[in-house]
């Protein structure tokens, strides 16, 4: 029997992290007198997120077991011409799952931060930021209308700006957060255009009311064009997703987000910010199902991101950047699934990816701590015996990432491949090639990092920068329990959750009412269901499948090149030096953006400033207008002499002129 969730519970879930953030951010910093110590600050923020997680888990249980739901307005902000601007919650299977993922990963990051940021002066400020981040993401996923969605959308962007540039005295961090902010403004411009079109033609911002008018929207064209209105709306919405979820070509901000502390890298890449775009498209599935053009675009963009961002991971030497490029590639996989109308598979991969990607980032941070802040994998090696917990959890996360059978990543990634293979869209052929090739590439660069860090001979003394530090003579060491505990807790769902959730999430009623697919037009999931015979059977079948062969080939090649024959990578580098240069320079996209787009924008701005503002507006309109007035005034003053005979003469001449006109010229 369906039950209704309590509004008070949902408000508590959303506001508990906000309360912790405000207390730590005000009273734990100079803003409020800094009377709150570190223990109280992290205690209050962790308590807020813990409360939110526990209530989110209870909500998920109610949704799954009792069919509970909630879709109500909490507060009406204003009404403009019949358009209601509201704060409300929509809780169904999709949002309940997202709430649990966001709060659990955030809780792990909060605990981890106690150890990682122990020596940082901005300790309390950091806890305030990450709790605020959690609040913003919860408002986004729990919203029942586009206005509140946009609030959460912009809020996560703002907090990511604060967190990426957390070390504001570091020039590279300041550049990175500005880059993230500006690139996302490009995407958000498209997003708000899409919302504006929906408001204009649907007359509402509420999801339920908008979806009820999909038939009407599908029959309209954009005024003055032959373009289908729903196609324009979907493309605009997807441009927003391209920015938030870092899809080509708006992906350039995500690798640079590594300039922030490692815990925030885990939070951005796993559970917040980058998942917002994927969630939004899945939530808007009734609209996207009306436009094959938009779906094809989504599939093409996602496949480009999945394949070509994976190539960049091969040449990275910074341990965090390797994981960052794997995030880009996996986001591409999710986007491809959205394009194939496999929305449930996309959010399924979002969920499994959140756990093992948070695990990999936090493990990378643990390695950085153990290696005394060295991040270059070329100067690691043999770390396994010094950091056993970090080693085993990293191995589990890497196996999940490459899609090892029975691991969570296997079920979600292989489901994407299966769905794309059954898609009937024109772009599906290219997308299938991209995701299959991506399996090999992911396995190669993931285990390149794994082998260089944890196996082989120790290379700690070869780091040219280490000799300048006071830790250079120290061996690596295992991280404290506040760091290793989150690793262990994240490793459990990274291994198990896919096996237990694939059937209800993909083929059951888990997303019933939350995700809509027109199976007649887009039959990929219906065809996939016919061939699905359970989680265990899927894993057994994979033992002889092409994706597993690709993954094992990538792993084996990585082992041979970096463990057996380490001279081979150097030889390949010399042979393909131009290709390596291309990859190291990230296809020169950053150079293009900075030297063409940014410089062109600044040149255009200079022209508009000099010629437009100073020349036209200030010079012609403002200064010109008063000069005309002054000129007319001077002439007028010449005519106003004050002598009566001058005025009499003018009157006589005027009368003579009128008489001449009427008598001689107009007889």
What confidence tens digit (pLDDT) does each residue in 117-129 have? Answer: 888 888 889 999 9
Count H helices, E strands: the chain?
29, 2
Mean confidence (pLDDT) of the chain: 89
Nearest in space to 352 (alpha carbons), one of 307, 277, 411, 264:
411
pLDDT tens for 564-582 read: 998 898 898 888 889 989 9
- The pLDDT value given to residue 465: 66
Least confident of 2-6, 275-279, 318-322, 554-558: 2-6
With cut-offs at 50, 70 and 90, classify the pLDDT of residue 192: very high
**pLDDT higher at 49 or 508:** 49
Q: What's the whole-number mean pLDDT along residues 195-212?
A: 91
pLDDT at residue 463 tops 80: no
Q: Tell me the helix, strand and coil percentages in the chain, rounded to 5.
A: 75, 5, 20
With cut-offs at 50, 70 and 90, classify the pLDDT of residue 616: confident
pLDDT at residue 467 tops 50: no
Distances (CA, A) of 158 to 161, 164, 508, 562: 5, 10, 37, 41
- The pLDDT value given to residue 264: 87
- The pLDDT value given to residue 476: 82
With cut-offs at 50, 70 and 90, classify the pLDDT of residue 255: confident
- The pLDDT value given to residue 382: 85
pLDDT at residue 608 tops 80: yes
Helix axes 93-116, 343-370, angle to 10 degrees: 0
pLDDT at residue 665 tops 70: no
**CA-to-CA distance for 71 and 89, rounded, in angstroms?**
6
With cut-offs at 50, 70 and 90, classify the pLDDT of residue 408: very high
- The pLDDT value given to residue 469: 46
With cut-offs at 50, 70 and 90, classify the pLDDT of residue 422: very high
Q: What's the whole-number mean pLDDT along residues 525-544?
A: 89
Cβ atoms of residues 256 and 321 within 8 Å: no
Nearest in space to 515 (alpha carbons), one of 353, 342, 352, 277:
342
Cβ atoms of residues 323 and 357 within 8 Å: yes
**CA-to-CA distance for 493 and 498, rounded, in angstroms?**
8
- The pLDDT value given to residue 471: 44
pLDDT at residue 426 tops 80: yes
Top mean pLDDT of 66-70, 105-109, 529-533 is at: 105-109
Query: Residue 140 contacts by C-beta under 8 Å, 6 or more apart in sequence?
Result: 148, 149, 151, 152, 153, 155, 156, 276, 279
pLDDT at residue 526 tops 80: yes
pTM: 0.89
**CA-to-CA distance for 552 and 408, rounded, in angstroms?**
17
Q: What's the whole-number mean pLDDT along residues 444-456?
A: 91
pLDDT cut 70: percent of the chain above it? 97
Cβ atoms of residues 515 and 282 within 8 Å: yes
Rg of the chain in Å (alpha carbons): 30
Q: What's the whole-number mean pLDDT along residues 423-434?
A: 92
Q: What's the whole-number mean pLDDT along residues 181-194?
A: 92
Measure the N-to-C terminal CA separation of the chain; round to a whole number of Å.
Answer: 99
């Amino acid at each position: 029997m369906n039950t209704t969730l309590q509004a008070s519970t949902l408000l508590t879930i959303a506001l508990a992290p906000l309360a912790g953030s405000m207390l730590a951010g005000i009273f734990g910093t100079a803003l409020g007198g800094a009377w709150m110590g570190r223990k109280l600050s992290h205690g209050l923020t962790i308590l807020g997120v813990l409360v939110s997680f526990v209530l989110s888990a209870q909500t998920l249980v109610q949704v799954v077991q009792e069919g509970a739901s909630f879709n109500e307005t909490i507060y009406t902000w204003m009404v403009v011409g019949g358009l209601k601007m509201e704060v409300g919650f929509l809780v169904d299977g999709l949002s309940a799952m997202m709430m649990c993922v966001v709060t659990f990963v955030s809780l792990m990051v909060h605990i981890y931060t106690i150890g990682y940021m122990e020596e940082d002066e901005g300790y309390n400020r950091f806890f305030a930021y990450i709790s605020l981040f959690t609040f913003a993401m919860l408002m986004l996923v729990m919203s029942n209308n586009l206005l509140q969605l946009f609030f959460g959308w912009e809020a996560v962007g703002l907090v990511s700006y604060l967190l990426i540039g957390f070390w504001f005295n570091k020039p590279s961090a300041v550049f990175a957060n500005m880059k993230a902010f500006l690139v996302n403004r490009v995407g958000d411009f498209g997003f708000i255009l899409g919302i504006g079109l929906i408001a204009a033609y649907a007359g509402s911002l509420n999801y339920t009311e908008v979806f009820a008018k999909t038939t009407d929207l599908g029959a309209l064209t954009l005024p003055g064009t032959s373009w289908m209105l729903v196609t324009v709306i979907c493309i605009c919405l997807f441009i927003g997703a391209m920015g938030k979820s870092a899809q080509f070509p708006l992906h350039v901000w995500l690798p640079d987000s590594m300039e922030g502390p490692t815990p925030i890298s885990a939070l951005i890449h796993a559970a917040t910010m980058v998942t917002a775009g994927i969630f939004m498209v899945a939530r808007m599935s009734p609209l996207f199902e009306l436009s094959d053009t938009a779906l094809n675009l989504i599939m093409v963009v996602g496949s480009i991101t999945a394949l070509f961002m994976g190539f960049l991971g091969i040449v990275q030497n910074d341990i965090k950047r390797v994981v960052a490029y794997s995030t880009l590639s996996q986001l591409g996989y999710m986007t491809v699934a959205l394009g194939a109308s496999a929305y449930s598979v996309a959010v399924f991969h979002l969920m499994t990816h959140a756990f093992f990607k948070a695990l990999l980032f936090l493990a990378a941070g643990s390695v950085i701590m153990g290696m005394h802040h060295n991040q270059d994998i070329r100067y690691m090696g043999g770390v396994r015996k010094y950091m056993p917990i970090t080693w085993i959890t990293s191995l589990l996360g890497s196996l999940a990432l490459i899609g090892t059978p029975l691991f969570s990543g296997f079920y979600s990634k292989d489901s994407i491949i299966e769905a794309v293979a059954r898609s009937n869209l024109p772009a599906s052929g290219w997308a299938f090639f991209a995701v299959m090739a991506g399996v090999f590439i992911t396995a190669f660069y993931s285990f390149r990092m794994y082998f260089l860090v944890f196996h082989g001979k120790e290379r700690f003394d070869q780091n040219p920068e280490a000799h300048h530090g006071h830790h250079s003579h120290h061996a690596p060491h295992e991280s404290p329990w506040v760091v290793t505990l989150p690793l262990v807790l994240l490793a459990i769902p990274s291994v198990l959750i896919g096996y237990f959730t694939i059937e209800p999430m993909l083929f059951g009623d888990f997303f019933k009412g939350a995700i809509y697919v027109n199976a007649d037009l887009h039959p990929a999931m219906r065809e996939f269901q016919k061939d699905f015979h359970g989680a265990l059977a899927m894993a057994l079948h994979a033992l002889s499948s092409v994706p597993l062969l690709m993954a094992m080939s990538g792993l084996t090649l990585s082992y041979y090149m970096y463990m057996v024959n380490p001279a081979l990578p150097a030889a390949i580098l010399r042979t393909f030096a131009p290709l390596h240069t291309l990859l190291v320079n990230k296809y020169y996209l950053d150079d293009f953006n900075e030297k063409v787009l940014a410089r062109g924008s600044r040149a255009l701005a200079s022209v508009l400033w000099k010629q437009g503002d100073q020349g036209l507006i200030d010079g012609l309109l403002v200064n010109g207008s008063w000069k005309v007035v002054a000129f007319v005034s001077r002439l007028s003053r010449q005519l106003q002499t004050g002598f009566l005979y001058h005025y009499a003469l003018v009157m006589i001449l005027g009368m003579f002129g009128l008489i001449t006109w009427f008598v001689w010229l107009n007889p």
